[in-house]
Amino acid sequence: MKNDTSPIIVRTQGGSYPVLVRAGSMADLGSVAAERVRGRSALVVTDSNVAPLHLAAARASLDAAGFRTASHVVPAGESSKNLASLSALWSAMHDSGLTRSDLVVALGGGVVGDLAGFAAATWMRGVAVLQVPTSLLAFVDSAIGGKTAIDLPFGKNLAGAFHQPVAVLEDPLLLRTLPPRELRQGMAEVVKCGCILDADFFAWLETLPPEGPMAPEDMERVVRTCAAMKADVVSRDEREGGLRMLLNFGHTVGHAVEKSLGYGVVAHGEAVAVGMVAAARMGEASGVTESGTALRVESLLRRLSLPSRLSDVPAIDGGLHAICDAMLSDKKRAGSAVNFVFLESVGRAVVRPVPVTDLLSALSGAVGFESV
147 is catalytic: yes
| Tally of helices (H runs) and strands (E runs) in the chain | 13, 12
Whether 211 is catalytic? no
The CA distance from 273 to 298, in Å, is: 8
Catalytic residue among 230, 259, 309, 332: 230
Helix (H, G, I), strand (E, B) or coil at 200: helix
**Planar angle of CA 14, 20, 233, nearest 5 degrees:** 50
Inter-residue contact 163 to 150 (CB < 8 Å): no
Of 156, 224, 251, 309, which residue is the catalytic one? Answer: 251
Q: Which of 111, 151, 368 is nearest to 255 (CA)?
A: 151
Q: Which domains does the chain have, with CATH numbers?
A: 8-176 (3.40.50.1970), 180-363 (1.20.1090.10)
Average pLDDT, stretch 280-307?
96
Could you tell me what percent of the chain has a pLDDT over 90?
85
pLDDT at 316: 93
- Asked about 255 being catalytic, the answer comes back as yes
Contacts with 141 (C-beta within 8 Å, 6 or more apart), sequence order: 110, 189, 192, 226, 230, 247
Q: What is the pLDDT of residues 223-272, one digit of tens each?
A: 999 999 999 999 999 998 889 999 999 999 999 999 999 988 999 999 99
72 has catalytic annotation: no
Cβ atoms 341, 196 nearer than 8 A: yes
Q: What is the mean pLDDT of residues 130-159?
A: 95
User: How would residue 372 be classed by pLDDT, with cut points 50, 70 and 90?
Assistant: very low
Residue of 248, 258, 309, 332 marked active site: 248
125 belongs to the catalytic site = yes
Position 285 scores a pLDDT of 93
Q: Are the C-beta atoms of 320 and 370 separated by less than 8 Å?
A: no
CB 345 within 8 A of CB 199: yes
How does the average pLDDT of the chain come out, rounded? 93
Sheet holding 348-355, edge to edge: 333-334, 337-345, 348-355
Catalytic annotation, pick one of 59, 81, 268, 309: 268
Q: Which of 59, 72, 81, 147 is catalytic?
A: 147
